[in-house]
Structure 1
Amino acid sequence: MDQSLLLVLSNLLHLHNHLDPTTSLLSTTSSSAATPSASSPTSLLSSSSAAPLLFFTIASVLSYVASSSAASANPKSKGNPNSGPSKAGPPSPSSDFSVAAFRALSTEHIWSLEPPLRDARWRSLFGLSYPVFTTVVDKLRPFIAASNLSLPSDYAVAMVLSRLAHGHSAKAVASRCSLDPFLVSKITNMVTRLLATKLYPEFIKIPVSRRRLVEATQAFEELTALPNVCGAVDGSAIKLHRLPRDRVSSSSYRCKYGYDSVLLQVVADHKKIFWDVCVKAPGATEDATHFRDSLLYNRLTSGDIVWDKVINVRGQHVRPYIVGDWCYPLMSFMMTPFNSKGTGTPAQNLFDGMLMKGRSMVVEAIRLLKGRWRILQDLNVGLNHAPQTIVACCVLHNLCQIAREPEPDTAREPDEIGAPARALESEKSFFYHGQNLRQALADELHQRLSSR
C-alpha cells in the first residue's frame, strides 16, 4: 500500500481514539490487543459515539482506492484480470497483452516473415493462412467482445483454431497457454458456436440463384457428362473420443465401422465447397434416415426449394438434382446408382460410373475437412457440443476452399457399406418420377457417348 495512504490511516486511527477511547480497536501494546468479549459481540455497534462509523467508512474508501491503484499498476494481477488504467491515464496495455499472448501460441515470432513463409507457418499452427485468419477474427470480434471475455479476440480465435487443426485436448491447450482447462473448453464452445451460427448463413448456402446453378451444373457436366447435377451428398461418421457415462451402454452411437460416433451429412459442389450441412443423428443411424430427418429433405419434398433450371431429356422435365450412392433413396431430386455390383445394362453401368465420379467431389471434400481439422478424427469435446464443433469445422473448410488454400495430404475415407435404401410410402411419387428420370438420363448418356 502507498506510504501516504498508510499515514492517513494512522492519523484517522489516532483521531478515532481521541474521540472515543472506550471503543479503541487497536493498541500499540500487545496486552491491549485482546478481542471483545464473546458475550457482547455487538458492543462496538451499540456505542453512542459516531466515531467508529466515521472511521470504518473513511478507512474502507481509502482501502478501496489503495487496492484499485495497485491493480492499475499491475494489469496482469490475477485478482482483477479486467482492471486497467483509467481513461485519463496512459494508454491501455490490452493491445500489448493481446500481441504478447497471441505470440505465446507460436514457437517463434512469425510477424516479420515474408507473406508466403508467414502463411505456410500460419497454416501449420492454425490450419489456415494469415489473411483467412484475420477474416475469421474480424467477423467474430463483435460477438466475442459482447461476451465480455477477458482474452483478446485474436488470441481466443487462434487458441481454438489451433485446437481444431491439431486435435489437442482442452487440458493440453490449457497447459501450453497457461490457462485453466475449464476456460479453454468454455472459449472453444463459444467460438465454435459463433462459427456454427453467425458465419454459417454467410458461407454455407444452398445454390438457388441462377448464376450459381449454371456454374455448378456446367462444372459437373464437364466431369460426369450428366446434365443438371448441382451437388453430391454423402455421410461420414465422426469418431467420438468418449461417450458420457450415461451413454456408454448405448449402441446407437456405434457406427458400421465399429467405433462410437455421430453422423455428419454434407452436400458439396464441384469446388468441394459444402452448401448444406446436417449433424442430427448418432453414428448407428442409416444415411437414408439421417437424410430424411434433415432440413434439406423437408425443404425439397415440400417444394420450398425450387431450382429454376429445367431441361428436357427424352420427354422428361429434369430439374437440378443431387447425386448420392445407393444408401440414399432414389427420388426426383436425388439420383442414385442402379445397383452397387455393376450387373445392369451397358447404359445403366455407364450411368452408375459417371454418377459415382460426380459423388467423388463430396468424398474429396470430406477428406479435406478431416485433413485440415484433425479434431474430427477423434472428437474430444462434450457430446452436447459435438454438432456445433463439426459444423464450425465445415464453415472453416468453406473459407479455406473459397480462399483457395492449399489442399493438405489426407487419409482415405472407408469404403461405403450398407444396403440400398428403399422408398417410403410417402415418397412413392418422388420415387417413380426418379426412376423415369434416371432411366432417361442413362439412355441419353449411353447414346451420346456411344456415337462419339
Structure 2
Amino acid sequence: MDQSFLLMLSTLLHLHNYLDPTITLLPSTPSSASSPSSASFNSPTSLLSSSSAAPLLFFTIASVLSFIASSRSNASSSPSRTSSTTLPPSSSDYSVSAFRAFSTDHIWSLEAPFRDAQWRSLYGLSHPVFTTIVDKLKPHIALSNLSLPSDYAVAMVLSRLCHGLSAKTVAARFSLEPYLVSKITNMVTRLLATKLYAEFIKIPVSRRRLIETTQAFEELTSLPNMCGAIDGSPIKLRRLPPDQNFSTNYNCRFGYPSVLLQVVADNKKIFWDVCVKAPGGSDDASHFRDSLMYHRLTSGDVVWDNVINVRGHHVRPYIVGDWGYPLLSFLLTPFSPNGIGTPAQNLFDGMLMKGRSVVVDAIGLLKARWKILQDLNVGLSHAPQTIVACCVLHNLCQIAKEPEPEPLKDPNETGPAPNILDTEKSLCYYGESVRQALADDLHQRLPSR
C-alpha cells in the first residue's frame, strides 16, 4: 500500500478517537476481544450505528483519500511502463562491459546462425569475420596506446560504417567524445586501407587464380580470357570545404559533391584493384589513366601469361568496361552504346556488358553493406581511406561467403567515348584487332543469338 496513504489513515484514526472517544476500533483488553459487545464495535456497521457523526465523516474522508492514493499510484507507474518501451537503448548498452558480456557470455550461448545474424545486424558481418579483422588489426592498434580494447574499437567503427552513423551519433551512443570517435574511425580505416589491402585486394597474377577467373567469365559470357570488369562510381560526400571553386570540382555528373571510386572486380564480385584519386567532377577515363593499375599495365609491370589464339591473334587476359573507358589491348569496350553495329558486333557488345555487370553488382553490394558510402560523413582528407577500407571489408565478406544484401544501383551513365592519347595509339590499334577477332569468333560459335 502507498506509504502516504498509510500516514493519512493513521492520522484519521487519531482524529476519530479525538472526535468520538466512546468508540474504539481496537480492544483495550484481551477479554474484550471475546466479548460480543466488544466484537460489535469492531464491525464496520458498528461505526455507522454510532450516535456521533465522526465515524461517518471518518469513512467518507478515508474513502476519498484511498481513491486519490490509488489514482496517484497508477499514474506514477504508467509512465514508467511507457517510457521503458519507448526510450532508445542507453549508453550503458554500448559500454565496454556490456560489449564484453555480449561478445563472450551471450554470443557463445547462441547457435551459430543466430549468433552471426545478430552480429551482422550490429556490425555488418558475422562473428568469425569480425574476429579475423580484430586479430589482424590488434597488433597495429596496440601501438597507438588506445585506452579502449581493440575489439571494442573495431566494433564501434564497423557499427558506424555499417549503419552510416555520424561521429556525433556514435559518440552519444558509446558515451565518448565526438573527436575521439573520429580519431578511432580514422585509425581503424587507415589500418584497413593500408595493412590489409595487399592481403585482400590482389591482381590475379597466379596462374591458378587467373585460369579460374577466366573460365568463370567464359561460362558467363562465352568470351575467352576475360579476367575482370572495371567501373567507376561517385561516392557522395556529406560536406565539403566552403571554397566554391573547390566544391564545383567535386560535383559529379549526377549533381552532388563526391569523390570517384574506381574498382576492378572478378566473377565472384571480389575487387582486385581499387583506386580513389579523383574528385567527383572527373571522368572515368581520366581517373583510370591516373591510377597505378593503368601504369602497371602499360609499362608491362603486370604480365599475364595465359595467352590464347583467336583467329590468328594472340589474346592476353583483358578486362572489360563501358564506352566511358579507352579501348586498349588490355581493356576492351563495346563497339557501340546503342546497338548500331553489325550482328557480330552487337552480339559481342551484349556479352561484354554481361561480363561488366559483375562490377556493377559488386559496387551495389559495397554501398548496401557499408551505408556510410551512401552519404560519406567524414572529412575530405579521410574520405579515400574510408572508401578503400570499406572495399577491403567487402572482399572479406565475399571471401567468407557472407549473405549478399540487395545491391544499390547507380543511375545509368551516358556520355561520349574518350579520345585516345598519342601514347595509347598502338595499344588502341591492337585492342581493335582483338575485339573484332573475338566478335567474329563469338558470332561463328553462337550464330543464333
TM-score, length-normalised on structure 1?
0.76
Deviations 1:76-128 (A, max 9, x none): xxxxxxxxxxxxxxxxxxxxx9951525999x954422111010011010000
Question: Does the alignment pair 1:289 with 2:283?
Answer: no
In structure 1, the residue matched to 2:129 is 132
Within a 5 Å distance, the mapping from 1:64-75 to structure 2 comes to: none
Aligned partners of 1:418, 1:103: CA distance in 2, in Å? 53
Letter in 2 for 1:357: K
Letter in 2 for 1:205: K
Aligned partners of 2:197, 2:224: CA distance in 1, in Å? 29
Q: What's the CA shift for 1:411?
A: 2.4
Question: Does the alignment pair 1:268 with 2:252?
Answer: no
Percent identical across equivalent pairs? 76
2:354 to 346, 349, 357: 357
Deviations 1:331-359 (A, max 9, x none): 00000000101000000000000000000
1:406 to 400, 403, 415: 403
In structure 1, the residue matched to 2:190 is 193
Aligned partners of 1:238, 1:378: CA distance in 2, in Å? 7
- Verify the 8 A CA contact 2:247 2:257 in the aligned structure 1: no
Aligned partners of 1:186, 1:359: CA distance in 2, in Å? 37
2:140 to 126, 139, 143: 143
- Verify the 8 A CA contact 1:102 1:154 in the aligned structure 2: no
SS of 1:272's equivalent in the other structure is: coil
Aligned partners of 1:247, 1:358: CA distance in 2, in Å? 40
In structure 2, the residue matched to 1:280 is 277
Within a 5 Å distance, the mapping from 1:62-101 to structure 2 comes to: 100=97
Aligned partners of 1:119, 1:247: CA distance in 2, in Å? 46
Within a 5 Å distance, the mapping from 1:409-420 to structure 2 comes to: 409-420=406-417
In structure 2, the residue matched to 1:152 is 149
Aligned partners of 2:107, 2:243: CA distance in 1, in Å? 45
Question: Does the alignment pair 1:314 with 2:311?
Answer: yes
Deviations 1:269-301 (A, max 9, x none): 000000000000000100000000000000000
Q: What's the CA shift for 1:410?
A: 2.6
Letter in 2 for 1:396: L
Within a 5 Å distance, the mapping from 1:357-376 to structure 2 comes to: 357-376=354-373
| Number of positions where the alignment pairs a residue of Structure 1 with one of Structure 2 | 355
- Verify the 8 A CA contact 2:221 2:354 in the aligned structure 1: yes
Letter in 2 for 1:342: G
Aligned partners of 1:287, 1:409: CA distance in 2, in Å? 25
In structure 2, the residue matched to 1:338 is 335
Q: What's the CA shift for 1:151?
A: 0.3
Letter in 1 for 2:346: N
Deviations 1:357-414 (A, max 9, x none): 0000000000000000000000000000000000000000000000000001232221
Larger proportion of helix: 2
Q: What's the CA shift for 1:418?
A: 2.0
**Higher Rg:** 2
SS of 2:118's equivalent in the other structure is: helix
- Verify the 8 A CA contact 2:326 2:333 in the aligned structure 1: yes
Question: Does the alignment pair 1:298 with 2:269?
Answer: no
2:215 to 213, 218, 226: 218
Q: What's the CA shift for 1:138?
A: 0.3
In structure 1, the residue matched to 2:165 is 168
2:325 to 322, 325, 328: 328
SS of 1:263's equivalent in the other structure is: strand
Q: What's the CA shift for 1:247?
A: 5.6
Aligned partners of 1:418, 1:189: CA distance in 2, in Å? 36
Aligned partners of 2:246, 2:101: CA distance in 1, in Å? 42
In structure 1, the residue matched to 2:17 is none
Unmatched runs of 5 consecutive residues or more in structure 2: 1-93
Letter in 2 for 1:334: L
Aligned partners of 2:287, 2:302: CA distance in 1, in Å? 19
- Verify the 8 A CA contact 1:105 1:159 in the aligned structure 2: no
Q: What's the CA shift for 1:198?
A: 0.2
SS of 1:245's equivalent in the other structure is: coil
Q: What's the CA shift for 1:173?
A: 0.1
- Verify the 8 A CA contact 2:241 2:247 in the aligned structure 1: no
Question: Does the alignment pair 1:207 with 2:204?
Answer: yes
Distance of aligned partners of 1:111 and 1:176 in 2 relative to their CA distance in 1, 3 Å threshold: farther
Q: What's the CA shift for 1:246?
A: 3.2
- Verify the 8 A CA contact 1:269 1:362 in the aligned structure 2: yes
In structure 2, the residue matched to 1:382 is 379
